[in-house]
Amino acid sequence: MQTFTLIGLAAALLGCSSLYLASPNQRLLAARWPARPTRIAGAALLAAGWLTLARDMQALTATFTFIVVLMLAFAVLPYAGALLGSGRGR
């Protein structure tokens, strides 16, 4: 795998995590992160993720890969929070 592909995937996952942790309904942490700075950082990470994916791939392939990563991350994060939250006795 190309280096920029791995960096783009990591940036997209970190961006999704930032957006999730800024949500008032997140269950991964005891308290949510500050909304505005975390959302801005998440949006910047998502943009950087797509740009680095587009550096190694064609635009259509990078967009498809980016959307698949977003779907996976936004589907797994709430379940991970519920799993960790049930272990803490919430």
Q: What was the pLDDT predicted at 88?
A: 65
Over residues 4-29, the pLDDT tens digits come to 999 999 999 999 999 999 988 888 88
What is the predicted pLDDT for the residue at 82? Answer: 83
Per-residue model confidence (pLDDT) at position 1: 65
By C-alpha distance, which of 72, 47, 75, 73 is closest to 62?
Answer: 47
Q: What range does the domain containing 42 cover?
A: 3-87
Q: Which residues of the chain are modeled with pLDDT < 70?
A: 1, 86-90
| pLDDT at res. 73 | 95
pTM of the complete model: 0.87
